[in-house]
Amino acid sequence: MKISEINRTYNIFQTNHFSKYQQNTPIQDSISFKARNKKNLSKKEQVQNAITYLSVAGFLISSIAGFSKIFDGKKETVEIEPCSEPIVENYQEEEIETASDILMENPELLEEYNKIMQALNTYSEQLGEDALPLIKQRVALIGNGNVDIMDVLKILWIESNGKIYNEENSGILTSSFGAYGAFQLTKDTQEFLNSYFNLENTEQELDVKNPYDNLDACIYLLRFLYEKRSNDIENGKVLPTGDNIKTAVAWSYHDGAWASEISKYGQDYIEKYEKLSLLDEYPQVIEFILNS
């Protein structure tokens, strides 16, 4: 309990003597005290030290019958008794809301949570390992501090719902536009990223048909788009998505880094991304996902 103000009590020095006390009152949310001098002292002092309560084994001492002190060289008795004046600041224990509480109370949020978890589970099953530690590791290694793990998971759901392979598991998932894998990246994007990040002819050279390279390509692309759209905003370019850099990056993932207008499918992409981004408003839920 924090006491911010105590008035109408007296300075107590180390020479105080307590004759007796009671300890049979349970701790309440707030208990106030006032001091009254039995001799009706005309001069009263303010307490500097917070000594208005004693706690023993979970109980608060609610009254002190014989309370003695040395005052102006004389031993005088003062009485401490409960009062209704709001002298001691009220204290209420903060209620801790868990991720489960938040999700159960918010059906719309729960729906977005389930999308992320479903995509992550499918991705893990088809990859053949727990994908979350891998995503964390790759983001930390090549994201340059500009890639949010949650954005990778959002893109994963929007693009493929976590699927790496076709339904019949006959080959890597391929769109009608020639985009491959869980993060739906084209060969053109692969070539650009390899050139831009100097990955050509190295062990890190990307092949978007490889599930692991497909993940890396997504992270590299998000990193590039973050830098590109940040520079656009800094240079005074007005983006159709506004100044929200994360929304701009998500839109550009679909419509392209040099797009200036939002396409019909780009708008749909933004809406899906922003609905998933409702999760970002709840740190408990994000922590729950990333530590699942």
Looking at residue 85, its pLDDT comes to 55
CA distance 245 to 248: 5
In whole angstroms, give the CA distance from residue 215 to residue 131: 10
- Average per-residue pLDDT for the chain: 78
Distance CA 239, CA 54 (A): 62
Residue 32 host element (H or E): strand 32-37
SS3 assignment, position 12: coil
Contacts of 116 (CB under 8 A, 6+ apart): 150, 153, 154, 157, 276, 279, 289
Cβ contacts of 119 within 8 Å, gap of 6 or more: 153, 156, 157, 160, 161, 162
183-193 pLDDT per residue, tens? 999 999 999 99
Query: What's the pLDDT score for residue 78?
Result: 53
Per-residue pLDDT tens over the stretch 84-135: 555 445 545 445 789 999 999 999 999 999 999 999 999 999 999 999 999 9
- The residue extents of the domains of the chain are 17-83, 99-290
CATH code linked to domain 99-290: 1.10.530.10
DSSP 246-257: HHHHHHHHHH-T
According to the model, what pLDDT value does residue 110 have? 98
Compute the distance between CA of residue 151 and CA of residue 149 in angstroms, rounded to an integer. Answer: 5
Taking only the tens place, the pLDDT of each residue in 206-228 is 999 999 999 999 999 999 999 99
The stretches of 13-106 forming alpha helices (DSSP H) are 99-105
Predicted local confidence at residue 292, as pLDDT = 80
* Helix ranges restricted to H, the chain: 99-105, 107-127, 131-142, 149-160, 187-196, 211-234, 245-255, 264-276, 283-290
pLDDT at 98: 94
At 169 the pLDDT is: 60
pLDDT of 61 strictly over 70: no
For residue 71, the model assigns a pLDDT of 41
In this predicted model, what pLDDT tens digit does every residue of 223-282 receive, in sequence order? 999 999 999 999 999 999 998 999 999 999 999 999 999 999 999 999 999 999 999 999
Residue 19 — very low, low, confident or very high, per pLDDT cuts 50/70/90?
very low
What average pLDDT score do residues 162-189 get? 92
| Cβ 276 vs Cβ 115: under 8 Å | yes
Average pLDDT over residues 42-60: 38
Q: What is the mean pLDDT of residues 33-55?
A: 39
The answer to whether 23 and 61 have CB atoms below 8 angstroms apart is yes
Q: What whole-number percentage of the chain has pLDDT above 70?
A: 67
The pLDDT, as a whole number, for residue 167 is 79
